[in-house]
Structure 1
Amino acid sequence: MALDNTGFSSCPESLSLPVPEKGEESVEEAPKDAPPTDVQNTFEELGHVVTTETAPPTQPQTNNNMSFQAKMAAREAQANQSRKKLQGVGQERGKFGWGRSRRKRQRYVEKNGRCNVQHGNMRKTYRYLTDIFTTLVDLNWRCSLLVFVMAYAVTSIWYLIAYCRGDLDHLEDEAWTPCVNNINGFISAFLFSIETETTIGYGHRVITDQCPVGTMLLLLQAILGSMVNAFMVGCMFVKISQPNKRAETLVFSRNAVISLRDDKLCLMFRVGDLRSSHIVGANMRAKLIKSKQTQEGEFIPLDQTDISVGFETGDDRLFLVSPLVISHEIDVRSPFWDMSQGQLEKEDFEIVVILEGMVEATGMTCQARSSYLAEEVLWGHRFSPMMSLAEGFFDVDYGAFHHTFEVNTPSCSARELALATARLDAHLYWSISSRLDEEKWEGPNLTEQTGKSTDSESVREGDRPTFTVGGVTSTQDQSVVGEQNGSVTTDQSESEA
């Protein structure tokens, strides 16, 4: 049964028309005084105006007697309307249809380098106390200061001793010998504790020999005060000089790009150092975070794959004096070997980049991290230059650090590009060989050259070039068909390696 396509051809912009509700007529009757053709209807939806040119008015149809084409058009229009509501106003229909509102991937590493991981339901939390210094360093400033303030809680013990012995009740009794002289309340007990722990010793408040409990507490507070002061000074120094603060001045480009470099597709991103003091022994690493399912059916939600940024050649060791563009060549070992531009728009992955080095001023190891989602990778772009030569020095303009511009880049995958390049090289090889054979056949000594050409053909039979691209081997064969026109026949055979 042949289907009539007039329902689609007569309404080319049907995706922007409103959709009738159930039970209503899908097509309203045109008014009698309406012009027959070229009528401009304007529909306004959420502030977005779409102007379409309607077809000549047709007879009203109900849902029962609607044609198959009209039902499909109405269903598609309804889907597009709900899609536009999710995407917002002003969504255009591009090269690959309406932009689909796919769920944004949850980052494993934030753009500022913070790892988006929270640990819960942990057992044996006492292990944190075995490394108390690291625990104090990892705490934020508020918690650290609160811990050190709580260390002075022994102040209340001096007050309790004075209260239990009755020293506060005999303040006016000169014959009474208190545990600590001149303590008349909590404030005075607190000041005595601070004077003892910090070894200030004003001399106005002093412990007496009539209180053995106070003597033991004084000894305990002296030891505890030394430990608290050592922990506090060390923790403060480490927290202030932490190398992760140095990572705030190491910046990564907002986007990564894919373009040609030396006739090969490369994934590139830019990194720079804002300080004049350099990072010593800087090296770069990159990992691909993507879900994976093994052949046995095991699902790995965050599978990590190394992305080579020059580890074999030493290009991963950077001299980070000026901003550098880090390049990953997409070859057969790359996880992006079979990814084209169309597949990139459908992929769901995250690229984590890690820059490590030693801070020149302190000698401590520093690490800066960032990440790129699939939608943050721009195909067919290249970074804008940001360095110029001034009088006696190189001027770096960080205003163009994130800028990119479009360049001509094939939309195919690196595998397809390499295979096409190999076939082109093979075609050029045989074209040059055939021309050389034609030049040998021309001349007076036709018989001698025939024998020589026969010998050369026999040698060339065993020396056929083989081009291997990834896992595909392409072998080129050539045979001379005629002597007059010099036509060449090329046979190509491909086999999996």
Structure 2
Amino acid sequence: MALEEKKFNDFGLGEKSESNGYRAVNKDGSFNILKTNIPFFEKLNFFHNLVTMSWLNFFGYILLGYFVINFSFAAIYMSIGVDHLTGTSGTTGIDQFSEAFFFSAQTITTLGYGRVAPLGLATNIVAAIESMLGLLSFALATGLLYGRFSKSPTKIKYSDIGVIAPYQNINGFMIRVVNPQNNELLEVNADLSVSFRKEGSQHREFHNLKLERNMVFFFPSVWTIVHPIDEKSPLYKMTEKEFEKRKVEFIVMLKAFDASSSQTLYSRSSYKADEIIWGAKFTYLGQHKNGKLHIDVSGLNSYDQSGLQ
């Protein structure tokens, strides 16, 4: 039975995870783990990098690749000889290279204005290879664009802080989440876990925490996720100093169905002991105006002092 319980509490982070005080999960939901001594080609993942990087970097790499390919083929045409390109009129090396460069750009896009054309077997072979490379490159770029657009753009916003606040006749740990966009999220499930050092040990223990409610069918407003700290809670009778001493870290994960993209959305965040306010309660963000409930998302972190039970 003890072995089964240990397996159940294993989050895949390891018992010594974050033993030196570092958080296991970053605020943005990424894991704070760096894998080292991996052969270069084994860790390469071009698709993941190109799909997850920022749009600015993505188009920067696309333009850089486009320039490098055309520059390389222009150099090949120059090495064969610019006299093997009919219709060129440049007399200096720079003019000839620029004509070869723009001929390469027309070839790789299969555009071909017709003024400059390849002449001779070698030049035609290079042009044929380049046109095939152009078709493959643009097909790849189109697939990457689809991969980026097909991802759900929803970004669930978490409160920067958690609070320990009165809850019914006891205290509770609370965080707030909101969907700042107008798309509909349905059947939103929450899972809250906690890890902390064992007494007198560098090893850590992990617990899944019981929530006031772990699912809401609709998510148009703000959701305050509450863990009641009762006798069955692993946090029962723990003080603020113990939170700091035992390096408490809360990990929250949300799972929802995005009605706009028809995709299942996953989102994570975490809270360290120094990001938790004791004896505070989140302020209400709603205000009724003209028959509608207005939610001030900018006040997601606002709270009032309330004391503890």
Q: Decide: shared fold, TM above 0.5.
A: yes
> How far 1:127 sits from its partner (Å)?
3.4
Report how many residues are paired: 282
Pair 1:246-2:154 in alignment: yes
Which residue of structure 1 aligns with residue 101 of structure 2? 190
1:145/1:128 Cα in 2 relative to 1: closer, same or farther (>3 Å)? farther
1:265-344 correspondence runs (5 A): 265-292=171-198, 299-300=202-203, 304-309=206-211, 315-341=214-240, 343-344=242-243
- Name the SS of the counterpart of 1:156 in structure 2: helix
What's the TM-score once normalised by structure 1's chain length?
Answer: 0.50
Which residue of structure 2 aligns with residue 145 of structure 1? 60
Matches of 2:131 and 2:232, distance apart in 1: 64
- Name the SS of the counterpart of 2:102 in structure 1: helix
Matches of 1:401 and 1:143, distance apart in 2: 32
Please give the per-residue CA displacement for 1:298-327, whole angstroms capped at 9, x wherever unaligned.
x546x54322335xxx63345211112111
1:214/1:265 Cα in 2 relative to 1: closer, same or farther (>3 Å)? same
1:148-297 correspondence runs (5 A): 149-150=64-65, 152-153=68-69, 155-164=71-80, 167-168=81-82, 178-183=83-88, 184=90, 185-208=96-119, 211-239=120-148, 242-243=151-152, 245-247=153-155, 250-292=156-198
- Name the SS of the counterpart of 2:154 in structure 1: helix
Matches of 2:109 and 2:278, distance apart in 1: 64
Matches of 1:132 and 1:116, distance apart in 2: 21
> How far 1:150 sits from its partner (Å)?
3.1
> How far 1:225 sits from its partner (Å)?
0.6
Matches of 2:79 and 2:282, distance apart in 1: 75
Matches of 1:116 and 1:341, distance apart in 2: 24
Please give the per-residue CA displacement for 1:379-403, whole angstroms capped at 9, x wherever unaligned.
3322222223444222323354322
Letter in 1 for 2:292: F
Matches of 1:252 and 1:409, distance apart in 2: 23
Please give the per-residue CA displacement for 1:332-387, whole angstroms capped at 9, x wherever unaligned.
54321341455345442211222232333223443333322213323332222222
Matches of 2:28 and 2:160, distance apart in 1: 11
What value does the CA root-mean-square deviation take over the aligned residues? 3.2
Pair 1:136-2:35 in alignment: no
Contact 2:252-2:268 at 8 Å conserved across structures? yes
Which residue of structure 1 aligns with residue 273 of structure 2? 374
Letter in 2 for 1:116: N
| Runs of 4+ residues deviating >4 angstroms | none
- Name the SS of the counterpart of 1:229 in structure 2: helix
Which residue of structure 2 aligns with residue 477 of structure 1? none
1:200/1:334 Cα in 2 relative to 1: closer, same or farther (>3 Å)? same
1:300/1:230 Cα in 2 relative to 1: closer, same or farther (>3 Å)? farther
Letter in 1 for 2:105: I
Contact 2:187-2:215 at 8 Å conserved across structures? no
What's the TM-score once normalised by structure 2's chain length?
Answer: 0.76
> How far 1:196 sits from its partner (Å)?
1.1
> How far 1:194 sits from its partner (Å)?
0.9
Matches of 1:343 and 1:157, distance apart in 2: 65
Matches of 1:261 and 1:395, distance apart in 2: 25
Matches of 2:232 and 2:135, distance apart in 1: 58
Contact 1:381-1:406 at 8 Å conserved across structures? yes
Q: Pick the structure with more strand per residue.
A: 2
Query: Which structure: larger Rg?
Result: 1
Pair 1:360-2:259 in alignment: yes
**Ranges in structure 1 where 5+ consecutive residues have no aligned partner:** 1-103, 169-177, 411-497
